């Protein structure tokens, strides 16, 4: 990671850290999902993971859209797209992981899952998938409202679709129910690995889409020398 990308990460963290209301809502979103189904441990965990994925992807979306003018200026001043995009991605993932670890502690105290590693993997997966998902949508759709609605479509369909159907499998958070079978229903480790593999592919695809979209959005016209 270059020095420029590190500074972008640091400044993104500082800026997001000053959005107190956003941070509070960021904590409340997964928590409300979790508490709404707390009577059913398996469902509460799945809802928590999807809520965390939603929160992280929304944060990435708004972070990307809000910084567009600044990023264009940084480009003119000589910044590389990869430094800008990587810097912001790392910042959002870092915040997401802090949230994920906090919720992992909450689940450990409040519920009784065996094996517990599925909880950690499930929470980690939604963070690393959610961040590039939000960035990709933020780079493709220029307006905040458009991006937010698109994100709602993706997440709502993911929640409603039957995990066994193709529709659910092509959506980025399919790993959540798969890992849930392992963590909650006692299914074999193959479910865990299938979920992790799906998340890996999702991250690769979403990072590629986010990088291509960011490169297009922040592209500078090549001007020849006089």
Partner 1 sequence: MRDHADEWARHLDEALVDLGIQPAVAQRLAAESVEEARVSGVAPRDLFGPAVLYARQLQGALLPAESTGSPTASAPGRTLLQLRGVTKRYGRRSVLRGVDLTVRAGEVAAIVGSNGSGKSTLLRICAGLTRASSGEVRRAGRVGYVPQDGGLAELLTAHEHFMLFGALQGMSAGRAVCTGEQLASRLAWRPTRDVLVQHLSGGTRQKLNVVLGEIHRPDLLLLDEPYQGFDHGSYVDFWHQVYGWRDAGAGVVVVTHLMHELDRADHVVELTTGAGE
Does 78 bind partner 1 (CB under 8 A)? Our answer is: yes
DSSP per position, 88-127: HHHHHHHHHHHHHHHHHHHHHHH---SSTHHHHHHHHHHH
Rounded (10°) CA dihedral 77, 78, 84, 85? 120
Please give the structure tokens belonging to residue 166. Answer: 């193709």
Per-residue CA distances from 61 to 37, 72, 140, 165 (Å)? 27, 17, 10, 27
186: left (phi over 0), alpha (psi -120 to 50) or beta: left
Per-residue CA distances from 117 to 78, 180, 183, 191 (Å)? 44, 11, 8, 13
Q: Which stretch binds partner 1 (CB under 8 A): 3-11, 101-109, 112-120, 193-201?
A: 3-11
Identify the residue among 1, 28, 40, 70 touching partner 1 (CB under 8 A).
Answer: 70
Does 1 bind partner 1 (CB under 8 A)? Our answer is: no
Shortest distance (Å) from residue 14 CB to partner 1? 6
Does 69 bind partner 1 (CB under 8 A)? Our answer is: yes
Does 90 bind partner 1 (CB under 8 A)? Our answer is: no
Q: Residue 17's Cα: distance from chain center in Å?
A: 17
Q: If you compute the radius of gyration of the chain from its CA atoms, what whole number of angstroms results?
A: 18
Does 157 bind partner 1 (CB under 8 A)? Our answer is: no
Shortest distance (Å) from residue 142 CB to partner 1? 14
Shortest distance (Å) from residue 215 CB to partner 1? 14
Does 226 bind partner 1 (CB under 8 A)? Our answer is: yes
Identify the residue among 1, 38, 40, 73 touching partner 1 (CB under 8 A).
Answer: 73
Which residue's CB is nearer to partner 1, number 69 or number 185?
A: 69
Shortest distance (Å) from residue 22 CB to partner 1? 10
Using CB under 8 A, which residues numbered 5 to 34 contact partner 1?
Answer: 6-8, 11, 14-15, 18-19
Question: How many residues contact partner 1, by CB under 8 A?
Answer: 27
Contact 210, 139 (CB under 8 A): yes
How far apart (Å, rounded) are the C-alpha atoms in residues 165 and 55?
A: 25
Shortest distance (Å) from residue 226 CB to partner 1? 4
Q: Where are the alpha helices (DSSP H) in 67-80?
A: 68-76
Which residue's CB is nearer to partner 1, number 70 or number 157?
A: 70
Residues that bind partner 1 (CB under 8 A): 3-4, 6-8, 11, 14-15, 18-19, 67, 69-70, 72-74, 76-79, 220-226
């Amino acid at each position: 990671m270059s020095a420029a990308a590190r500074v972008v990460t640091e400044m993104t963290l500082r800026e997001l850290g000053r959005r107190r209301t956003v941070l509070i809502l960021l904590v409340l979103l997964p928590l409300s999902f979790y508490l709404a189904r707390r009577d059913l441990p398996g469902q509460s965990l799945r809802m928590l993971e999807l809520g965390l994925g939603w929160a992280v992807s929304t944060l990435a979306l708004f972070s990307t859209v809000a910084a567009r003018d600044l990023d264009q200026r940084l480009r003119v001043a000589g910044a590389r797209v990869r430094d800008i995009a990587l810097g912001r991605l790392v910042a959002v993932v870092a915040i997401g992981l802090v949230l994920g670890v906090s919720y992992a502690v909450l689940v450990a105290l409040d519920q009784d899952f065996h094996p517990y590693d599925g909880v950690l993997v499930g929470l980690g997966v939604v963070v690393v998938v959610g961040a590039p998902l939000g960035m990709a949508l933020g780079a493709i759709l220029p307006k905040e409202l458009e991006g937010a609605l698109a994100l709602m479509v993706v997440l709502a369909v993911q929640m409603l679709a039957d995990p066994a159907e193709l529709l659910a499998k092509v959506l980025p958070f399919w790993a959540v129910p798969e890992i849930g079978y392992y963590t909650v229903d006692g299914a074999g480790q193959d479910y865990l690995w299938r979920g992790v593999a799906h998340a890996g592919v999702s991250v690769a695809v979403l990072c590629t889409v986010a990088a291509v979209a960011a490169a297009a959005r922040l592209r500078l016209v090549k001007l020849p020398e006089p």
